[in-house]
Amino acid sequence: MKFNAMTAIAAVLFSVPGLVAADPDDDNLVINGEIEMTTKAEPPAHLDGALPEIMSGWHFRSDETQALQMDDFDNSGMIFVDEGMAQWNTVEGSEEKSCATCHEDPSSMKGVRASYPKWDEDAGEVQTLAMQINDCRENNMGAEPYGYTSGKMANMEALIAVQSRGMPVDVAIDGPARETWEKGKELYYTRTGQLELSCANCHEQNYGNMIRADHLSQGQINGFPTYRLKNAKLNTVHARFKGCVRDTRAETFKPGSDEFVALELYVASRGNGLSVEGPSVRN
């Protein structure tokens, strides 16, 4: 055998299967054999053709990871929905109320996840679901707010999200929310960090491509909170934003900051039409 070592190594590397085919798949997401999810949809008009089709991050995962979301018992995120249910019924704070005192069964939250973040007339600002939960805790229950990206917040968000599972994300971007949305859009396209990457560089221009061994998705947030195999817990949207911005080697905005609230509204609006999936399962 006369061929040189480099060629030999290259030949072995290129013979490794599975690293080339990186397109998102065409599988259908049906949960428990019952809930049919819309994981691909026409892009909303306000995207102005930036994406030909909007797609859930589920399509970018391996068959093994996808399967974990197709059955509520295989989905480890559901155990935190149970945890959220316990929180829901726990009386806390000076008013001696639980969530259940006013809202009764969590099924009363159906549709809520699909419409947040949204403009709050009384507060005069766009509020995320996390802000609304803490608003309720502080002002109606007289209880301590949850940490913005804490486990308890993620549990409560998961409990509320699961009530809307299968409903299309439908956040409003008109009226008083417009200004916040525009700010979020600007952030989405602004390069940050030493790597000078914007959200769009990876999730609009390169979804479907591999970033080393990772399959880039569109960065949709319809599946949040999401149970990640990486850290084996529920992850909130702002914790994920922070991780992403950090990886551009930038000083990140804080979870709950005006910047991340605006970004959440904008990113959520890019998924208008996809089903609420939370709690989803990702890598």
Least separation in angstroms between CB 249 and another protein: 10
Angle among Cα 279, 86, 141 to the nearest 5 degrees reads 105
Closer to another protein by CB, 180 or 226: give it.
226
How many Å apart are CA 198 and CA 248, to the nearest integer? 8
The mark string for 34-63 relative to another protein (x by CB under 8 A, - otherwise) is ---------------------------xx-
Stretch that binds another protein, among 30-38, 109-117, 132-140, 212-220 (CB under 8 A): 212-220
| 203 scored as a contact of another protein (CB under 8 A) | no
Closer to another protein by CB, 83 or 157: give it.
83
How many Å apart are CA 150 and CA 233, to the nearest integer? 11
- In this structure, how many other beta carbons lie within 10 angstroms of the beta carbon of residue 279? 29
How many Å apart are CA 205 and CA 186, to the nearest integer? 16
| 214 scored as a contact of another protein (CB under 8 A) | yes
| 18 scored as a contact of another protein (CB under 8 A) | yes
| 6 scored as a contact of another protein (CB under 8 A) | no
Question: Which is nearest to 100 in space by CA: 149, 156, 158?
Answer: 156
Q: Please confirm, yes or no, whether 244 is among the known catalytic residues.
A: yes
DSSP 45: G
| 233 scored as a contact of another protein (CB under 8 A) | yes
Report the residue from 55, 83, 199, 222 that binds another protein according to the rule CB under 8 A.
Answer: 83
How many Å apart are CA 104 and CA 53, to the nearest integer? 39
Both structure tokens of 144 = 């301590």
| 150 scored as a contact of another protein (CB under 8 A) | no
| 73 scored as a contact of another protein (CB under 8 A) | yes
| 80 scored as a contact of another protein (CB under 8 A) | yes
How many Å apart are CA 39 and CA 282, to the nearest integer? 14
Stretch that binds another protein, among 10-18, 111-119, 139-147, 260-268 (CB under 8 A): 10-18
How many Å apart are CA 237 and CA 8, to the nearest integer? 45
Least separation in angstroms between CB 42 and another protein: 28
Stretch that binds another protein, among 4-12, 38-46, 96-104, 177-185 (CB under 8 A): 4-12
Cα torsion angle, 210, 196, 255, 107, sign = negative
Structural contact between residues 51 and 45, judged by C-beta atoms closer than 8 angstroms? no
Q: Which residues contact 160 (CB under 8 A, 6 or more apart)?
A: 84, 106, 109, 112, 113, 129, 133
**Which stretches of the chain bind another protein, using CB under 8 A?**
1-3, 7-8, 11-12, 15, 18, 61-62, 64-65, 67-68, 73-74, 76, 78-80, 82-83, 86, 151, 210-214, 216, 228-233, 240, 243-244, 246-247, 283
Report the catalytic residues.
244
